[in-house]
Amino acid sequence: MSDSSPSPAAQRQQTIAVIGLGSIGGVVAGCLAAAGRHHVTACVRRPIEKLVLDQPGGTVELQLPVYTDAAQIKEPADWVLLCTKTHQTQSAAPWLARLCAAKTRIAVLQNGIGHVERVAPLADGATVLPIIVYYNGERLAPDRVRLRQGSDQDMAVADDVDGRAFAQLFAGTPLRVQLCDDFATLIWRKLLINAVANPITALTLQRQAVLRRAEIQELCLAILAEAVAVGRAEGVRLADDEPQRALATLFTFSGELGTSMYFDRLAGLTLEVEALTGAIVAAGERRGIATPLNHALLALLRAVSDAATSGG
């Protein structure tokens, strides 16, 4: 693994379209726009007059072009940053159809696994890059987001030509991008973190401090042991102590932080169930590996999510 810190002066200005200004998209759009080196636009459902970014260095107010209709897009972008939830990917199809060409790179900043398989059919020949997001973003209002940084890196990407080009976009911004030789293992490690942090916080309606309870830690280790067995069957190189590592990583974050699924439940939104716990259960079924705890979580999360969708 290596870090990329190219000189900002060495970069040419590129056109970057960010689809979705939620907790993840709002942060990347804000950081890129504040740096002022690229032309950043936002693709959203509802217009905003400005974007306010609360970051460790202070609060900034940003003016950036905002589109609410894909028909407003006149030409393809150099980069598309897809920041919707995984279950909203199909809704981004009209945007991708207008923004993508063979030269375009689509960076998929979504949870779970299978980014390329999910987005490539909509990409019109563009290159699709899966991105792992570590930073904690919180949407405070439709036009305001907060960045909190908890680990050594904020995002990770494969160490190849496209990955290095993605890292260069963020040179000089607060967001740190890690280049990784073994991306498959790294993305499963992020899935392990999400496999406990998101369901437990959403189901208990508590922030990450709940993970410090002894009985919750015991439950998390058992959930993670199932997921590790599935990941190994999928050919991922996961160590014997991966469950303990995942919990240790979570404990480096402040207990007052929430998760995307926690915030979605508070807002009465559909939960990103299938890309996280659902992905583990589905892979277990493919490989003939029992995942009773993850299956129980999936049943509960689906029930909560379906209630949000139906309004009851």
Q: 3-state DSSP call for residue 220?
A: helix
Looking at residue 173, the DSSP 8-state letter turns out to be: S
Strand order across the 136-141 sheet: 58-62, 51-55, 144-148, 136-141
Q: Which tokens in the block code for residue 57?
A: 């260095």
Annotated catalytic residue, options 74, 85, 103, 190? 190
- Residue 214 CA, distance from chain mean position: 28
Q: Which tokens in the block code for residue 141?
A: 């209002």
| C-alpha span between 309 and 273 (Å, rounded) | 13
Sign for the pseudo-dihedral over CA of 87, 93, 94, 96: positive
Looking at residue 106, the DSSP 8-state letter turns out to be: E
Q: Which of 95, 81, 67 is nearest to 15 (CA)?
A: 81
| C-alpha span between 53 and 57 (Å, rounded) | 10
103 is catalytic: no
| C-alpha span between 40 and 15 (Å, rounded) | 6
Instruction: Determine the residue type at 123.
Output: A
DSSP assignment of 231-283 equals HHHTT----TTHHHHHHHHHTTS-TT---HHHHHHHTTPPP--TTTHHHHHHH
Cβ atoms of 206 and 255 within 8 Å: the answer is no
Give the DSSP H/E element, type plus range, for residue 224: helix 214-233
Active site residues: 190
